[in-house]
């Protein structure tokens, strides 16, 4: 489970970095920046839904972190 979440985070960060690179190179001339940010949003939503589903199925449990 941990590896799936780490891979998803790496995908999100990679998409964000590629959007930055496209923004700097294209200067707004193409839609590559928008497409990369759309992929990032999709990955973020998919990760959130996967974590909710995994919690519902009992694959992961709440840790009960207490703020002190």
- Give residue for tokens 């974590």: 51
What is the distance between the alpha carbons of residues 26 and 28, in angstroms, rounded to a whole number? 5
Q: Where is 54: in which H helix or E strand?
A: helix 32-57
pLDDT of residue 68: 64
Q: Decide which of 28 and 30 is more confident.
A: 30
Q: Please tell me the pTM assigned to this model.
A: 0.79
What 3-state class would DSSP assign to 65?
coil
Position 2 confidence tier, pLDDT thresholds 50, 70, 90: confident
Q: What are the φ and ψ backbone dihedral angles of 64, each rounded to 5 degrees? A: 70, 45
pLDDT of residue 67: 63
């Amino acid at each position: 489970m941990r590896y799936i979440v780490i891979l998803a985070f790496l995908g999100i960060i990679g998409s964000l970095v590629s959007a930055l690179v496209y923004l700097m190179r294209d200067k707004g001339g193409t839609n590559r920046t928008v497409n990369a940010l759309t992929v990032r949003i999709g990955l973020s939503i998919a990760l959130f839904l996967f974590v909710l589903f995994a919690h519902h199925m009992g694959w992961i449990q709440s840790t009960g972190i207490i703020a002190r």
